[in-house]
Structure 1
């Protein structure tokens, strides 16, 4: 009898703890849904504004740069238009059971695919920027249009191929719906080797490329600052461009993606979970990168802001088509946005790059330089 009591008491305590945990998760669910919804709206609106601008020509950006940025915008938009609605649908419409769930496997596959595509796209943008700055005369031959499109296609095609086992309910890895993060997540501890393979093929190579390219750009900008100072060319300004673009990009990238990867590795190796809010923040933090990219890759660029103002003015004219004075004003703004030297297509392709990186390395004095600095 005593042995029965010794067994029954702990089981009762466990049941009570589980019930308390479930009540806590249910109480916090409206707050989490509100956070996810607000984040989804911000990402969607930000990327709609970006698409409105970069679908037309922006001074200082080559066609290749626009292709890469459109790819990044598509990946970021998928966070708000696909990932969030799918996971919220699971949270609203069904209660997750203990067995395999085909719909949750499909949702987890889309989650992992968009996350991976976004990382690959960020890596390709850093690589394109590196080539544009360090090999400006060879840019058009090294990174042809076909090669640029191949890199973009690779960023969108390779992740689904690598992650397709997640989509099968009876596949090599299990998937569970987490009430803590409101996400269909793979159970990484169910296949440790596959989970480690994903990090080796996705997170680590993308992080290495981004770190190498942006660190080289930052060092080059720092050297250029010293050179301009020695020649009294007022070089104190240009390093601010590098600090305002390169350091925030890398800081935001690692801040948003590292916690998610750490939890993934921790779950795969130890088989244990983490506290509720830590899991929620770590899982949804990468999606916030989709909104912050709009700031660091677009809004910080003066040419982009000018073009955005022009697009807004055109929209206002569309709503009020009878204003001739506004039309002449728009035309004058448009003529001032695109400098005349950009009419040379070959020079434009060689010297244009993401975030106007020609301002980061300038081999000519400011008074004869064609790459004008772009203040915030």
Structure 2
């Protein structure tokens, strides 16, 4: 319980800081990017504000009988919905950045505001529709309270076909889309970096490779956090056997740590985000005094220097993420 509470506090505080910044305009971030990142922040925050409190509440109130527990079914449904929404949102962000880089001239037409909101709506509506059978106490799949992981967990072996269907519609398509988009972005960034080195003075391009510094950790963290959960789910469904208790605990709660790592990889590494966060903190600390006015003027100057067209701003933010050359111009 201590580990779970600490993890929940880290996720909540990290995402509160993120929301305080991206609720206002951040230089270099397009409107679509802000919508998708707000959606990701909402899904990550649900780990600390909804998933953890509900399961800890069940762990303290559960009578541990073998009878079907309607409340435990609802909690298991909420758990799975938040996990699935997070994966779909991560895939949507990867798709948006892929379009911004490889189709910059068609970006505004391909990914309009309505389509971006449709992607977000799909990420939040489709998982509950797919997972609705879990809410039925006597339905498609059984649910039990696990004393090893302190969560209400579906018994995947009680319906192997439905369990494998969930992985086929959630984990595998999201993972495939993220891998394809980020791999293409990484290759494009490395190609662009080589071209810049050939056509400019070599000494100017000594900054770290931003593509490797950002995209590689993003994908590594994603697969490290989510793969054990999916492997455990498939193994228990197919074999009908339980895994060791410590393996179950790690597999169940490790994906929630991705909610904290997302704050680092998608926000804190971004220079514009860090600058805006410092400005927000200084306004909160100094109020309307002279320091606050100085910060306000500097933020306005940054915004004026970075006010561009919607499509250009999206491409700029993505290229800043991908290549050290662009970062050096900034």
Specify the TM-score bucket, using the shorter chain as the normaliser.
Answer: over 0.9
Select which of 332, 337, 353 maps to 2:297.
332
Whole-angstrom distance in 1 between the partners of 2:329 and 2:271: 5
Whole-angstrom distance in 2 between the partners of 1:276 and 1:135: 48
TM-aligned CA deviation for residue 85 of structure 1 = 0.3
Q: Does 1:251 align with 2:216?
A: no
Whole-angstrom distance in 2 between the partners of 1:271 and 1:354: 48
Q: Does 1:62 align with 2:26?
A: no
Higher relative contact order (CA 8 A, sep 6+): 2
Identify the residue that residue 18 of structure 1 maps to in structure 2: none
Alignment CA distance shift 1:233-1:120 (3 Å)? farther
Identify the residue that residue 343 of structure 1 maps to in structure 2: 307
Aligned residues of 1:65 and 1:354 also touching (Cα < 8 A): no
Alignment CA distance shift 1:199-1:374 (3 Å)? farther
TM-aligned CA deviation for residue 225 of structure 1 = 1.4
RMSD between aligned residues: 1.9
Aligned runs of 1:1-376 on 2, under 5 Å?
A: 33-234=1-202, 236-237=205-206, 240-318=209-287, 321=288, 323=289, 325-340=290-305, 342-344=306-308, 347=309, 349-353=310-314, 356-359=317-320, 371-373=326-328
Identify the residue that residue 26 of structure 1 maps to in structure 2: none
Aligned residues of 2:214 and 2:321 also touching (Cα < 8 A): no
Larger radius of gyration: 1
TM-aligned CA deviation for residue 336 of structure 1 = 4.0
Alignment CA distance shift 1:355-1:294 (3 Å)? farther
Provide Cα deviations, 1:271-316, integer angstroms capped at 9, x if missing partner: 0111111110110000000000000000000000000001001111
Alignment CA distance shift 1:220-1:229 (3 Å)? same
SS in 1 for 2:153: strand
With structure 1 as the length reference, what TM-score do the two structures score?
Answer: 0.84
Whole-angstrom distance in 2 between the partners of 1:373 and 1:229: 13
Alignment CA distance shift 1:120-1:87 (3 Å)? same
TM-aligned CA deviation for residue 237 of structure 1 = 4.7
TM-aligned CA deviation for residue 238 of structure 1 = 6.5
Q: Tell me, which stretches of 5 or more residues in structure 1 are unaligned? A: 1-32
Aligned pair count reads 329
Aligned residues of 1:58 and 1:303 also touching (Cα < 8 A): yes
